[in-house]
Structures are given as structure tokens and as C-alpha cells.
């Protein structure tokens, strides 16, 4: 299922690749993110901003390659609470969906989170995103009942899902 999928850790020097994927993600799946493409374009589209995003201490930033073509991304971020890490920026290009790319990305970030010593991994999911919900549920994430924020449309909510890391 995931033949030809390679995960590559990226850092500040890879900002152009990350920017390209993030722009594609926000353009293709605007309904799935709390931020908008407009927020990351124009004045917000500065090299230093992208480098800072990829230089968050003790974070993990992965790009998925399918047959050496970038088709997905995911990040893990530390939290103020050392027992909690967050899964962010998960996206898979439509041409690569159904090929195990999302599972590989989420699985790799969960493995990283365990290695940090954190006890819980959390993520924000836009309500109604059934495809993402199914992906996260396969990896042990469950809704907490918490709201992580309201989307730019002022209507939809970003809900919290979490999973223990000691299991």
C-alpha cells in the first residue's frame, strides 16, 4: 500500500519545499485548516517566517515523497506542558490519497512523540472532516470534547482529538 513512500525530515533550509506544500495544502483543502492561504501569502510569505516555522526547537517536520515527488506533510510540536505534544499541518495531495501516505506521516509523528517522553499527543481537527477523523482514529486519537478554536468563517470549530503515548 505504501510502496514508494519515503518520509524526509526537513528544517529551515528546506523552507521553499515546505512553503510549496503548505500553499498547495491551504489552496486544495482550505476547509480542513484553521489558517488560510491568504495568511501565508502576500506580506506573510517571507523567507524568515518559513524558516522560523521550521526551526521550532524540538519539533519534527516531515515531507512525504511518493516516487520522489513531494505529496504530503506533517509536524509535531512540543507544548508548554512537557507531557503534551501536538500533531500539526497534516496534508496529503489528492494524487497520493489512499496510498498510505497519511498513515505513514501520522505514524512517524506519533513515534517521534513517544521518543520525546511525552505522555499525550493532541491535534486540532475541523469538525465535519470525516476523512481526517478516520485517519486519526486509526492511530488511536479520540475526541476530548474541547474546542481548539473557531475557523475564519466564524462558524466552524477546530476540535481537539488526543491519544495516550504510553500505550
Average pLDDT of the segment spanning 27-33: 80
- Give φ, ψ of 31 to 5 degrees: -65, -15
H/E stretch holding 133 reads: helix 130-138
Q: What is the mean pLDDT of residues 32-57?
A: 83
Mean pLDDT for all residues in the chain:
90
The number of residues making up the chain comes to 167
What pLDDT does 37 receive?
Answer: 76
The residue written with cell numbers 495531495 in the block is 93
User: What domains does the chain contain, in order, with CATH numbers?
Assistant: 5-164 (3.40.630.30)
Residues whose CB falls within 8 Å of the CB of residue 94, separated by 6 or more in sequence, listed in order:
28
Residues 84-108, mean pLDDT to the nearest whole number: 96
Does the structure show a pLDDT above 70 at 1?
Answer: no
Q: Which residue has the higher pLDDT, 50 or 35?
A: 50
Q: What backbone torsions phi and psi does residue 126 show, to the nearest 5 degrees? A: -70, 125
Amino acid at each position: 500500500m505504501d510502496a514508494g513512500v519515503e518520509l524526509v525530515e526537513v528544517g529551515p533550509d528546506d523552507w521553499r519545499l515546505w512553503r510549496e506544500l503548505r500553499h498547495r495544502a491551504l489552496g486544495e483543502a482550505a476547509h480542513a485548516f484553521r489558517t488560510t492561504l491568504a495568511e501565508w501569502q502576500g506580506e506573510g510569505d517571507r523567507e524568515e517566517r518559513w524558516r522560523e516555522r521550521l526551526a521550532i526547537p524540538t519539533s519534527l517536520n516531515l515531507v512525504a515523497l511518493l516516487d520522489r515527488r513531494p505529496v504530503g506533510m506533517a509536524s509535531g510540536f512540543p507544548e508548554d506542558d512537557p507531557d503534551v505534544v501536538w500533531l500539526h499541518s497534516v496534508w496529503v495531495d489528492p494524487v497520493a490519497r489512499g496510498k498510505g501516505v497519511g498513515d505513514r506521516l501520522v505514524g512517524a509523528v506519533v513515534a517521534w512523540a513517544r521518543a520525546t517522553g511525552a505522555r499525550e499527543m493532541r491535534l486540532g481537527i475541523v469538525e465535519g472532516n470525516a476523512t481526517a477523523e478516520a485517519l486519526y482514529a486509526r492511530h488511536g486519537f479520540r475526541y476530548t470534547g474541547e474546542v481548539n478554536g473557531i475557523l475564519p468563517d466564524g462558524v466552524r470549530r477546530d476540535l481537539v482529538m488526543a491519544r495516550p503515548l504510553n500505550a
